[in-house]
Structure formats: structure tokens, C-alpha cells
Amino acid sequence: MSRKWERMVSQNTKKANKLRTKQGKSLISEADKPLMMKGRSLLLPLLFIIVFIFLLATYTKADQSGMYIFTICGYLLIALLMFFVRRPYLKIGKNTLAKRGYSRELTLEAANIKQIVYKTGVIVIELDNKTNWVYSKRLNWFDVAAIAEQLKRFADMNQVVFSDQTQQVS
């Protein structure tokens, strides 16, 4: 299917679903919706918590500035927001992968993937002439086994090499 046709189908599906919800009927399933696998960001919130503890420990009653207290609370708030709201993810579409970058979503076509390597607790997506995308159970709390299963399907559909190194004895 061409992209224009896919957009038309998705727009008509959205219109039909909106109408069906008003009528109280069940929704039409949207099969092309990408699967999103989420983790937790640990390093930056941990850094902000450490700064928060340092500022709290150095606070003295002699410094009666309200701005200092506001700064202390701001670091705690930023740490909590980054841990609970701004979560890293891997979005697996029909022929694309996407992840959160520093300021935008980075999208990767299947043709640009050299191979996908699944090791115990780690998934590495090796790219052509670029840095690798690494998803870890320990660092970002991703469900690596579920991601590996979905990436295996993605690799089979798009003729990408998928290497499962969990059964190999070192």
C-alpha cells in the first residue's frame, strides 16, 4: 500500500471510531498502530536527587532567601518529573523503529539497521555508520525479553538480521 492510501485509511478509521463511540458501538481496531515499550530513566533523576540532597545539606537558617528554598524544591521536582513522566521508550512500527532523543523523536528505517543483537539483559540495535541503540534491563528498566520478542517479529518482517546470543555458552 502506498503511504497516501495508508493515511486515508487511518483518517477514515479515526472518523469511523469517533462516530462509533458516539453511537455506543465497539471500535474498529487499528492494526498499524506502533507498539510502544517503555522503561525508566535513572541516571539524570539520580543526579538531580544528589544535587537536591547537597543543597539541602548546605542550607542554613542564616540564609533566609526564599529563592534558595525554591531552587532546592525545583531540583526535587525535576528529578520526580524525569523519573515518572519523561520515560525512555522504543516504538516498534511496521517498518520503522523510534526512540526519544534529547529534544525530539529519532526514527530509524528498517533499511538502515545492520543487525539486532539480543544478549541476556541487553538489546543492541546496530546501525549503518552510526552509534548503536542499546536497551538495558539494568540501566533503564526495560522489559528486554518482551522487546526481543517484538524485535524478532520486526526483523522477520523486514529481512533484518536478528542474533539471539542468550543460549550460546561463552
Chain position carrying cell 528486554: 144
Please report whether residue 151 resides in a domain. yes
Q: Same domain for 78 and 100? A: no
> How many domains does the structure of the chain reveal?
2
The pLDDT of 52-72, averaged and rounded, is 83
Q: How far apart are CA 157 and CA 154, in angstroms?
A: 5
Q: Same domain for 96 and 66? A: no
Q: Same domain for 98 and 160? A: yes
Q: How far apart are CA 41 and CA 116, in angstroms?
A: 22
Q: Which CATH number fits the domain that encloses residue 156?
A: 2.30.29.30
| Residue numbers of the domain that contains 135 | 35-39+88-164
* Nearest 10 degrees: Cα torsion 132, 81, 47, 71: 140
Cell of 114: 545492520
Q: Same domain for 111 and 142? A: yes
Cell of 92: 516498534
Please report whether residue 3 resides in a domain. no
Residue 53: pLDDT band (50, 70, 90) is very high
For 38, phi then psi, to 5°, come to -110, 150
Q: How far apart are CA 23 and CA 139, in angstroms?
A: 46
Please report whether residue 96 resides in a domain. yes
Q: Same domain for 102 and 127? A: yes
Please report whether residue 1 resides in a domain. no
Q: Same domain for 157 and 93? A: yes
CB contact at 8 A, 110 and 158: yes
Q: Which of 59, 84, 109 is the last residue of a domain?
A: 84
Q: Give 76-117 pLDDT, tens digit per residue.
A: 999 999 999 989 999 998 888 999 888 888 898 988 899 999
Q: Same domain for 125 and 155? A: yes
Q: How far apart are CA 150 and CA 145, in angstroms?
A: 9
Q: Check pLDDT > 70 for residue 58.
A: yes
Least confident of 45-49, 64-68, 162-166: 64-68
Q: Give 30-47 pLDDT, tens digit per residue.
A: 666 788 999 998 899 999
Question: What is residue 32's predicted lDDT score, i.e. its pLDDT?
Answer: 65
Q: Same domain for 106 and 120? A: yes
